[in-house]
Amino acid sequence: MGGPEPDLSRRRGRERQTLREIAAFFAPYRWRLTGIAALILVSVSIGVVNPILLKLIIDNLTGPQDLQLLWLQAGLMIVLPIITSGLGVWQSWLSNVVGQRVMEDLRLALYRHLQWMPLRFFTETRTGEIQSRVSNDVGGVQSVVTDTAASLLSNFATVATTVIAMWILDWRLTVLSLGLLPIFAYITYRVGKVRRQVSTLTQQSMAEMSAITQESLSVSGILLSKTFGQQDASIERFRLESRRLGDLQIRQQMIGRWFFALIGTFFSIMPAFVYLLAGSLIIDGDGTDLPTIGTIVAFTTLQSRLFFPLGQLLNVQVEIQGALALFDRIFEYLEMEHEITDAPDAVELSPATTRGEVRFERVSFRYPVVPAQLEVAAEAAEAEAEGRAVPTQVRPFALEELDFTARPGELVALVGPSGSGKTTTTYLIPRLYDVDAGAVRIDGVDVRNLTLQSLGRVIGFVTQETYLFHDTILANLRYAKLDASMAEIEEAARAAAIHDRIGELPDGYDTVVGERGYKLSGGEKQRVAIARVLLKDPRILILDEATSALDTVSERLIQAALQRLMVGRTTIAIAHRLSTILRADQILVMSRGRIVERGTHDELIRREGLYAKLSSEQFGAVRS
């Protein structure tokens, strides 16, 4: 019996927490919210005057029947709704501005938070799920935040029965009331056309927002952002598009508002014309077929029912609950911890003074295991203790006791079978993951004591799978150095042997490369990537064999570009083709997360160990 109560208490506590978090996003706009509340109070207060005027008109019609007084009373009924409608439009504009700004803040907060999430989060989360949180979930709460009343619908049956009842009461007053409907039908058509145009622009902006999100928050995109230290640039790009989308959506909302204000004014003014017509019939009529006072009151009441049906309020609670569920999903992401963050006393690495020495000191690392894997990991430890072979996939550690130094100007190659831990090793240098034991040091300083963005500035990556944004070649190159001059860009492109090829393209450096650079060949993409890293000018260079899937000509060009790129830098290369690291200063042979051999190519061949076996499998026993 006691079980459901704690669950209910937790649920209520979660709702209160969600409401507090929502309130925090509205807090910066408290004065605008106060203005909205004041406008609503004024509008409501003015609305109370109409029933009073209705009473005075009835008294006039049933009493002295003063036509001039009737005109005055009817005039007030015309003026006051116009004022109320103007205030309503103003209030609607303020509501939409506040709502859109809150949406912008929410999107930006979520995007900023995701930019600093660890790589582990992106490898474990589908890109579509992330996009859904940023776009669909935030979009789902938009109507509640910007204009809850927009979700309240009129019932066709209510309108139909109201019109029928009005016709039965008095056909003349009904014709008067509905006579302007063709005009409003035309206005509706015109408004619809404009709204479609603005909606098209809005959808385009939403598509651009989704594209930015997919590009920059995918595994490849976040790798690029982190390794180039460009999180702030990505956030700014997202912020600008988010502002554009918000402005378009305000415009889209306000186009309809003027039309609805016109309709509202029409229905508010129409009772005055009904009173004028009915009053004229009563005052100047011959006593036959005259509307009664009860008919007038009933008719005007029905008129109000056409535009203000109380049934619109029925679904408000459902909408609010649905919005709270979406807010919970959004805040679930915002409450996730940034596992890898700057230490309180983290220091900045300066590219100008960084030597680039990389030191691994007895480094061990493991990926998180799910509960089902714990038993397997324990079994693996037992097998290792007994001296039995342990498959890589069940070992508790991905890397164990790595110890080596890569000095400035040296080329250190990582060699080994797939799954031996080569890529994981390189990911520890820019802190895409943090070590579980030991330390990774740059110039003697633990990378955990360096700022993440300064790490990104001194480390350059060239990977086998090049990632290019759907943008121009120039924009892709400038990602490495936002203020790079054209001369610097062309110099980097020449060094990467891609400048001449770019010059042959119809738009040169302004050529749009397409999604993931599909308009360029594999070799061209790799050389653009090398030029980008050259432009960045990092002190530490990490290469994941970039030529394994290329033709001979492209491989030769890229190898030459890589040779120029490595000059004067600390280079750590993951080698799939052993021919690319024959002259490495140090070759580390890895197996099951450990370094099992180290030395130069000639030394390792003479030892006839794992490296000699790998060499023999690729191209026979190679001896320099």
Give the domain ranges of the chain.
12-334, 358-619
Least confident of 198-207, 280-289, 332-341, 489-498: 198-207
Strand order in the sheet with 358-365: 399-406, 358-365, 437-442, 445-446
> What is the rounded distance in angstroms from the CA atom of residue 229 to the CA atom of residue 457?
6
3-state secondary structure of 446: strand
CA angle 181, 271, 88 (to 5 degrees): 80
**Does residue 359 surpass a pLDDT of 90?**
yes
Alpha carbons 221 and 463: distance in angstroms, whole number: 12
Q: Tell me: the pLDDT tens digits for 379-425?
A: 555 555 555 554 444 445 688 889 999 998 888 999 988 888 888 89
Query: From 3.40.50.620, 1.10.3720.10, 3.40.50.300, 3.30.479.30, which CATH number describes the 358-619 domain?
Result: 3.40.50.300
Query: Which pLDDT value is given to residue 79?
Result: 85
* For range 498-509, the mean pLDDT: 88
CB–CB of 446/439 below 8 Å? Answer: yes
**Nearest Cα to 233, choosing from 478, 463, 490?**
478
Q: 79: Cβ–Cβ under 8 A, 6 or more apart, which residues?
A: none
Position 172 scores a pLDDT of 75
Given pLDDT bands bounded at 50, 70 and 90, which one contains residue 123?
Answer: confident
Higher pLDDT, residue 323 or 359: 359
Q: Which residue has the higher pLDDT, 425 or 514?
A: 425
Same topology, domains 12-334 and 358-619? Answer is: no
**Does the pLDDT value for residue 358 go beyond 90?**
yes
470, 215 contact by CB (below 8 A)? yes
Task: Please report the pLDDT score of residue 191 as a whole number.
Answer: 61
- With a cut of 50, say whether residue 310 has pLDDT above it: no
User: Above pLDDT 70, what percent of the chain?
Assistant: 66
| DSSP codes, 310-358 | GGGGTTHHHHHHHHHHHHHHHHHHHTS--SS---TT-BPPPTTT----E
List pLDDT tens digits, range 194-234. 665 665 566 557 656 766 776 677 666 777 787 888 888 88
SS3 539: coil
Of residues 579 and 525, more confidence is placed in 525
375 band by pLDDT with thresholds 50, 70 and 90: very low
- The whole model's pTM is what? 0.66
3-state secondary structure of 432: coil
Q: What is the pLDDT of residue 621?
A: 45
- Taking the domain 12-334, which CATH number applies? 1.20.1560
State how far the Cα of 510 lies from the Cα of 486, in Å rounded to an integer: 12
Read off the DSSP letter of residue 468.
-
> Residues near 432 by Cβ (< 8 Å), separated by ≥ 6?
118, 119, 223, 226, 227, 340
How many CB atoms within 10 Å of residue 512?
15
> What is the token pair recorded at 121?
């989060």
Strand (E) positions, 48-119? none
Over 90: is that where the pLDDT of 275 sits? no
* Per-residue confidence band for 86, with pLDDT thresholds at 50, 70 and 90: confident
Nearest in space to 479 (alpha carbons), one of 535, 559, 407, 426: 535
User: What is the residue-averaged pLDDT of the chain?
Assistant: 75
How far apart (Å, rounded) are the C-alpha atoms in residues 512 and 483?
20
Distance, CA of 63 to chain centre: 67
